[in-house]
Amino acid sequence: MKIDSLTQRAEAIVARVNQDNPYHAFLSIPKLRDVGERARQIEGNMRSKTSGSLSGLIVAVKDNISIRGVPTTCGSAILKNYISPYDATVIKKIVAQDGLIIGKTNMDEFAMGSSTEYSAFGTVRNPIDETRVPGGSSGGSAAAVAGGLADVALGSDTGGSIRQPAAFCGVVGLKPTYGRVSRYGLVAFASSLDQIGVFSKSIENAAKLLSVIAGVDPNDSTSSDIPVSDYSAGLGKDIYGLRVGIPKEYFAEGLNDEIRLRIERCIEFFRKSGAEIIPVSLPHTPYSIATYYIIATAEASSNLARYDGMRYGLSKRGGDLESVYKETRAEGFGDEVTRRIMLGTYVLSAGYYDAYYDKAQRVRRLIKEDFVKVFQQTDILFTPTTPTTAFPIGGKIDDPLAMYLSDVYTVPASLAGVPAMSIPLGNASDNLPIGGQIIGNYFDEETILQVGHYIERNFSLI
């Protein structure tokens, strides 16, 4: 990138978003003057050769990640006027490495959704086809990168909220190992599942951003102190001798024929490149969706109890304490969030905890053990990212179960806590993107980035 192009690019994007907000991808954006001033500072660092590793990159941030002095709405009316008093750890790291943050992106309310139609501030449109959803819940970040409004973006992935929209929008989307990236400053949905990850148009920039945001954080006790690899170092290597596992459960009924054929083409590409193809089984995969929606809603019910009209966010006062709770939440929470809170409260209630929540946790352990076993004989797993391409806006909004099944191939990796990445594999006959998912062993983001880069450089997308 030319040093003198950063300010021009950034100011052009800000002006464009302020004018018509393409794809409705952004919820807030800094003042043009502030963006220009920061861009010129970074350009000065680049000229003096003192700039950080992200200099020249424009970064978008999902609106459930805190930036000091900027609204953090989580796509919800209950936080419409909330201004964050602090920076998330990932934000501090990006700024320290001269990444230029351009704004906060639209999302499904509290990250609960698979289409970004559940935002209180309007639906995000897919840049490839604006009649289609961009996926969710990180649809705004995916659309910003796909639509050329950012070079890279941060999202959060609880059950597929980075990988699924990456597949729908034709970009790279990486969910790291649980604990690889600090969650300090990420507004919680389901704490044992949430993970900050990255979007990019290239594997190179995804590796660069992950290298910056990864690492242990004293503010997050769930972050890991396992040393962070140089994720860019392995890019450019071949895949000769790589053991690629193909789990049969990901190729069952319901998989779109064109996606199946493209995935099979890529598997044959692996074989011709010298990789070893190993059929494997993850036998508890069919239970993943049910397990996920019990655990995730239970944790959401607990985490969202803090929005009571007393501490921050919307407050509807005028009656007794109970009416404050009821009226604040009735006005502040949307239908999908309400649905998940009710389900989560139900599975945690007396008489149902053992039948649902406790059993789901036991199944989760079995799902994790499935992955541990297959990684004893494989280096990566390769699967479709989604069963279909991007569906029409409004196509599943009245059918929650059909919406939930959009994550059928992404949820297992989230339950197990392993890293996974969606990469573009070209387009279907209707020009909608197809994504392939690379799943790696714990804390082995380096290998999935290496494989993704090899596919990016050598696999024919036509």
406 has catalytic annotation? no
Q: Is 161 a catalytic residue?
A: yes
In one-letter notation, the amino acid at residue 196 is I
- Tokens read off for 103: 């704004």
Instruction: Yes or no: say if 145 and 165 are a contact pair by the CB < 8 Å rule.
Output: no
DSSP for 38-82?
A: HHHHHHHHHHTT---TTTT-EEEEETTB--TTSB--TT-GGGTT-
Q: Spell out the residues 6+ positions from residue 350 whose beta carbon is closer than 8 angstroms to its own.
A: none
Instruction: Specify whether the CB–CB gap between 412 and 285 falls below 8 A.
Output: yes
Q: List helix spans (H) across 304-430.
A: 321-332, 335-348, 359-374, 400-404, 411-416
For residue 137, say if its preceding peptide bond is cis, omega within 30 degrees of 0. Answer: yes
**Is 255:390 a contact under the CB 8 Å cutoff?**
no
Decide if 198 contacts 174 (C-beta within 8 A).
yes
Q: What are phi and psi of 115, to 5 degrees?
A: -145, -10
Longest dimension (CA), the chain: 70
Q: Which listed residue (51, 137, 211, 414) is catalytic?
A: 137
Please pick, among 62, 201, 208, 396, the residue that the annotation labels catalytic: 62
Residue 340 Cα to chain centre, angstroms: 19
Task: Say which of 119, 161, 200, 211 is annotated catalytic.
Answer: 161
Token output for 367:
């799902």
Backbone angles phi, psi at 80, to 5 degrees: -55, -40
Helix (H) or strand (E) holding 438: strand 433-440
Specify whether the CB–CB gap between 112 and 137 falls below 8 A.
yes
Q: Active-site residue 62, yes or no?
A: yes
Query: What is the sign of the dihedral through the CA atoms of 402, 406, 409 and 415?
Result: negative
Which amino acid belongs to residue 10? A
Q: Which amino acids are annotated catalytic? A: 62, 137, 161
